[in-house]
């Protein structure tokens, strides 16, 4: 049959366009000859389990006598709880426990210690549609729904705050009595002298932008199975951080951390939404304690949307002063963030929003004002890129406006201002490696920018944007002197296998794989002989988990140290066995040889490891990593610090249907400086994935609410993640880079590639049509509307579809 067509009536595979080609992860990367195991696209260690369906996620686990639990949530955005009657529910056959705030600890929790503002269950007021009120444990799932229906809650509905721009009004309803005017977080940072910079500037411009509420929408719903036995609690969870879960669960129930074991199973994606306890762990633990049975709890898709912790909606005002040449002299960022009903990770999100703006371009004068306000909507938190992607969109759009006003090419203005290596940002971030200039130049060249810019046919446009992200946060989420990461390696007694024990948390991104590559490289061993035990607070050493793109650098540093410790001991024993000075020996891929004669294999890793075991017992290595003290002295200085920063430039080419506003993204070129690469295939997969999410947020995704604060689209049908068919051709490439602060020179890639995407699409649309859509997502209807406004402003006749003769009756 013939080709499917798109709405514009063109075949989806237009023969005039070059054939769809994708950068094949891993294939075209040149082999890194300096290393034996890293720098190679080793297959994912868990690929087989996953693709054959053998991998067991938390929801797949079953335990004898296991009960099913569900949480009853509020139907109102803001209401006072007058009474809760659970008696009918308790009478239902199969119901084993019904609990409310009376049955659980009342200690407030949260992931941000500065604002612990959540309770396991609400006692006085409910603060958003979906707030937690009670929970049940039953013999099966079906009984849970019957029991939830039988719980009677009397509410007095209160006026709700749904508009963040009015949350701080004097007469706005109060959501948390402790935080007057719904002021959750207020930030005022001032570096250099912005006013003087604006005075000195040849041109000062202000723009406004609005971000969208988006949700991580991981494939796997949140699940936790809790087993409280003999005063000890075990929780299997779909988590990004067993450590934080362990810490907060122990704190909530007054248990020593040693009595709480959190085990990560396979995880089907998190993207920031599974970093903090979800309520399922707390309710499940309480229900298991009461019933004495394992309790499995999970959210369905709509409940996931209500629990949220996704991207904040931000209102962003940016003012920038530049000189005639387009050099940035000073920037003022003035933002409001809709935090939703609780803090979640929002304080960090709020700081990140402004703090990360100083990274990709050099300027000395910077002021950042932020209000994160409470509203009666689901709480927002950290989503891939944390608070940074929307401000990055705003700034990149703002910079293109300035470039246009000054008549400077968008890449030129970026090259002029691009950050250089070994510099310090005005907010005291120390940047070591930085190939921003190389990224921009390569993006320009591989995208054919010079031939395209200004020469594309009508409706086509090309845009550029940059991004930068931390390779791990400089400080953990709560105050502690624990190291960031630690690792242990145990070599088997006959030397034919070694197991890496690490608290690092693979949630699909592949950390288990690359950490085993790193361990093998450091030990002089092979990847294929590595096994891993990870993310179990009882059997693996401490690590903070998967967030802030930290594991390649931080967990990797600990693993490298552990591997090197194994290697040192191994070579010592080899030296004794061979009667050879150990410092003159080397081991690579399990073969031991003299450094000056690598072609003659003297003995093997396996033989020596076996002898070591016979003589001394287990051959083990240990490692741990703590970053140096980072950051300045001002309030909030620690947020955004990192041992290293990744840099990226993205160019996209779009085609716009000028009548419908539909935006077809044709090509995206991502050029990344992410240090030395451990596994090229996984690296490019991260770029594809991050870009995919950035694209979704740029054009399609938005959590919408009805007038009562209820989510209008809590389904994957109406919360439209892009599909494979919506993806552009993706060209992911790298520039050579080496980061002195990272093991083998590594930096992050997982979140950085989300940052430039929204701005780069906006700029491509701006280039194509000369219209700016100043709010995300850049939906067809918004583009359509902007195009019509422009035509009207240009004096063209624009037909009004609202005023034609009507032939129908309603």
Partner 1 sequence: MYLPDFDYYAPESLAEATALLVELGPAAKPLAGGTDILVKMKNGLASPSALVSLKNLTELRDIRWEPGRGLVIGALATHNQIRDSEVVQQHFLSISQAAHQLANNQIRNRGTIGGNLVNAIPSADLPPILIALGASVTMVGPDGARTVPLESFFTGPSCCVIEPEGEILTEIVIPEQDTTGSTYIKFGLRKSGALAVVGVATAVTMDGDVIRKARICLGAVYKVPVLAEEAAKVIEGKTWSDELLEQAGRTAVGCCLPISDIRGSDEYRRDLVRVFTRRALKRAITQGHV
By beta-carbon proximity to partner 1, the closer residue of 82 and 725 is 725
Structure tokens at 100: 């409310």
Among 31, 49, 124, 142, binds partner 1 (CB under 8 A): 142
By beta-carbon proximity to partner 1, the closer residue of 6 and 200 is 6
Is residue 707 involved in binding partner 1 (CB under 8 A)? no
Phi, psi of 569 (to 5 degrees): -65, -40
Is residue 614 involved in binding partner 1 (CB under 8 A)? no
Q: Tell me the closest approach of the beta carbon of residue 300 to partner 1, in angstroms.
A: 5
Residues, the chain: 810
Q: How far apart are CA 365 and CA 332, in angstroms?
A: 8
Q: Tell me the closest approach of the beta carbon of residue 267 to partner 1, in angstroms.
A: 22
By beta-carbon proximity to partner 1, the closer residue of 276 and 662 is 662
Q: How far apart are CA 426 and CA 367, in angstroms?
A: 10
Q: Tell me the closest approach of the beta carbon of residue 547 to partner 1, in angstroms.
A: 29
Q: How far is CA 14 from the centre of its chain?
A: 35
Among 4, 53, 64, 795, binds partner 1 (CB under 8 A): 4
Interface residues for partner 1 in 650-689 (CB under 8 A)? 659-660, 662
Residue 205, H or E segment: strand 203-210
Query: Within the chain, what is the greatest distance between any pair of CA atoms?
Result: 100
Is residue 801 involved in binding partner 1 (CB under 8 A)? yes
Interface residues for partner 1 in 81-100 (CB under 8 A)? none
Residues 6+ apart with CB under 8 A from 388: 352, 353, 356, 357, 467, 469, 755
Instruction: Choose the stretch contacting partner 1; rule: CB under 8 A; options: 17-25, 122-130, 564-572, 796-804.
Output: 796-804
Interface residues for partner 1 in 9-38 (CB under 8 A)? 9, 12
Is residue 779 involved in binding partner 1 (CB under 8 A)? yes
Beta bridge partners of 469: 646
Structure tokens at 417: 């201002």
By beta-carbon proximity to partner 1, the closer residue of 141 and 583 is 141
Q: Tell me the closest approach of the beta carbon of residue 427 to partner 1, in angstroms.
A: 39
Beta bridge partners of 236: 225, 263
- Cβ–Cβ < 8 Å for 84, 100: yes
- Cβ–Cβ < 8 Å for 691, 668: yes
The dihedral built from the CA positions of residue 723, 505, 755 and 370, taken in this order, carries a sign that is: positive
By beta-carbon proximity to partner 1, the closer residue of 146 and 452 is 146
Read out DSSP for 502-515?
E----SSS-HHHHH
Q: Report CA-CA distances (Å) from 686 to 290, 343, 672.
A: 43, 28, 11
Residues 6+ apart with CB under 8 A from 688: 25, 730, 732
Read out DSSP for 729-774?
EEEEEE-----TTSGGGB---TTGGGTTHHHHHHHHHHHHHS----
Is residue 206 involved in binding partner 1 (CB under 8 A)? no
Alpha helices in 169-270 (DSSP H): 194-200, 242-253
By beta-carbon proximity to partner 1, the closer residue of 82 and 804 is 804
Q: Single out the residue of 629, 645, 627, 631 nearest to residue 557, CA to CA.
A: 627
Instruction: Choose the stretch contacting partner 1; rule: CB under 8 A; options: 2-10, 117-125, 325-333, 550-558.
Output: 2-10
Strand order in the sheet with 79-85: 125-126, 79-85, 152-157
By beta-carbon proximity to partner 1, the closer residue of 5 and 229 is 5
Among 15, 717, 736, 795, binds partner 1 (CB under 8 A): 717
Instruction: Choose the stretch contacting partner 1; rule: CB under 8 A; options: 355-363, 436-444, 548-556, 799-807.
Output: 799-807
Among 404, 622, 720, 791, binds partner 1 (CB under 8 A): 720
Among 30, 230, 614, 808, binds partner 1 (CB under 8 A): 808
Is residue 723 involved in binding partner 1 (CB under 8 A)? yes
Q: How far is CA 641 from the centre of its chain?
A: 17
Is residue 291 involved in binding partner 1 (CB under 8 A)? no
Is residue 480 involved in binding partner 1 (CB under 8 A)? no
Is residue 807 involved in binding partner 1 (CB under 8 A)? yes
Size of interface with partner 1, in residues (CB under 8 A): 45
Which residues of the chain form contacts with partner 1 (CB under 8 A)?
Answer: 1-2, 4-9, 12, 141-142, 145, 300-302, 659-660, 662, 700, 704, 712-713, 716-718, 720, 722-726, 779-781, 784-785, 799, 801-802, 804-808, 810
């Amino acid at each position: 049959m013939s080709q499917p067509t798109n709405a514009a009536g063109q075949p989806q595979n237009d023969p005039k366009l070059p054939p769809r080609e994708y950068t094949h992860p891993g294939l075209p990367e040149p082999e890194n000859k300096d290393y034996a195991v890293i720098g190679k696209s080793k297959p994912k260690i868990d690929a087989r389990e996953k693709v054959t369906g053998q991998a067991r996620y938390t929801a797949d686990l079953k335990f004898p006598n296991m009960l099913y639990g569900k949480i009853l949530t509020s139907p109102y955005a803001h209401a006072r709880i007058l009474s809760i009657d659970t008696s009918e529910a308790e009478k239902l056959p199969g119901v084993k426990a019904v609990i409310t705030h009376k049955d659980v600890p009342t200690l407030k929790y949260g992931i941000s210690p500065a604002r612990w503002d959540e309770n396991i269950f609400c006692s006085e007021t409910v603060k958003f549609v979906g707030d937690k009120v009670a929970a049940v444990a039953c013999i099966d799932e079906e009984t849970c729904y019957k029991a939830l229906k039988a719980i009677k809650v009397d509410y007095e509905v209160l006026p709700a705050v749904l508009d963040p721009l009015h949350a701080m009004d004097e007469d706005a309803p109060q959501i948390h009595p402790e935080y007057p005017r719904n002021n959750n977080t207020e930030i005022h940072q001032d570096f250099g002298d912005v006013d003087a910079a604006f005075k000195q500037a040849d041109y000062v411009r202000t723009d406004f932008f609005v971000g969208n509420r988006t949700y991580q929408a991981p494939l796997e719903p949140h699940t936790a199975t809790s087993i409280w036995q003999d005063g000890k609690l075990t929780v299997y969870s779909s988590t990004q951080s067993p450590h934080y879960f362990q810490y907060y669960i122990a704190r909530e129930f007054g248990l020593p951390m040693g009595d709480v074991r959190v085990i990560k199973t396979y995880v089907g994606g998190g993207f920031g939404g599974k970093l903090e306890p979800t309520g399922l762990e707390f309710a499940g633990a309480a229900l298991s304690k009461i019933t004495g049975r394992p309790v499995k709890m999970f959210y369905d898709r709509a409940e996931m949307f209500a629990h949220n912790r996704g991207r904040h909606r931000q209102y962003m005002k940016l003012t920038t002063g530049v000189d005639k040449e387009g050099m940035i002299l000073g920037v003022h960022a003035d933002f409001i963030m809709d935090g939703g009903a609780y803090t979640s990770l929002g304080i960090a999100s709020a700081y990140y929003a402004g703090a990360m703006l100083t990274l990709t371009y050099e300027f000395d004068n910077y002021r950042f004002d932020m209000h994160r306000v409470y509203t009666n909507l689901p709480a927002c938190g950290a989503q891939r890129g944390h608070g940074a992607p929307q401000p990055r969109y705003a700034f990149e759009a703002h910079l293109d406006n300035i470039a246009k006003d000054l008549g400077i090419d968008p890449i030129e203005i970026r090259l002029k201002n691009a950050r250089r290596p070994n510099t310090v940002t005005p907010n005291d971030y120390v940047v070591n490696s930085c190939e921003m200039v190389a990224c921009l130049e390569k993006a320009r060249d591989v995208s054919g920018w010079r031939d395209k810019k200004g020469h594309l046919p009508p409706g086509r446009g090309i845009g550029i944007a940059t991004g930068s992200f931390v390779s791990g946060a400089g400080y953990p989420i709560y105050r502690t002197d624990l190291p960031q990461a630690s690792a242990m390696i145990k070599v088997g007694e006959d030397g034919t296998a070694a197991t890496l024990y690490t608290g690092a948390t693979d949630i699909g991104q592949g950390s288990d794989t690359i950490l085993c590559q790193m361990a093998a490289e450091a030990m002089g061993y092979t990847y294929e002989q590595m096994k891993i035990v990870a993310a179990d607070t009882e059997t693996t050493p401490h690590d903070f988990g998967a967030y802030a793109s930290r594991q390649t650098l931080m967990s990797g540093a600990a693993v490298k140290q552990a591997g090197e410790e194994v290697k040192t001991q191994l070579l010592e024993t080899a030296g004794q066995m061979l009667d050879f000075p150990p410092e003159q020996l080397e081991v690579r891929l399990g073969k031991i040889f003299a450094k000056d004669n690598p072609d003659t294999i003297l003995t093997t890793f396996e033989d020596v490891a076996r002898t070591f075991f016979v003589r001394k017992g287990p051959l083990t290595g240990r490692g741990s990593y703590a970053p140096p003290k980072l950051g300045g002295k001002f309030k909030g200085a620690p947020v955004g610090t990192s041992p290293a920063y990744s840099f990226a430039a993205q160019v996209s080419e779009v085609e716009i249907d000028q009548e419908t506003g539909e935006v077809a993204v044709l090509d995206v070129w991502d050029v990344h400086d992410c240090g030395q690469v451990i596994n090229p295939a996984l690296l490019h997969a991260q770029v594809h994935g991050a870009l995919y999410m950035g694209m979704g947020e740029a054009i399609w995704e938005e959590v919408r609410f009805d007038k009562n604060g209820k989510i209008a689209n809590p389904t994957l049908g109406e919360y439209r993640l892009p599909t494979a068919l919506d993806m552009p051709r993706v060209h992911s490439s790298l520039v050579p880079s080496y980061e002195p602060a990272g093991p083998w020179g590594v930096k992050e890639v997982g979140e950085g590639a989300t940052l430039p995407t929204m701005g780069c699409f906006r700029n491509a649309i701006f280039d194509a049509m000369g219209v700016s859509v100043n709010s995300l997502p850049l939906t067809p209807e918004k583009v359509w509307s902007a195009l019509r406004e422009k035509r009207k402003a240009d004096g063209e006749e624009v037909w009004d579809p609202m005023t034609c003769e009507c032939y129908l009756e309603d």
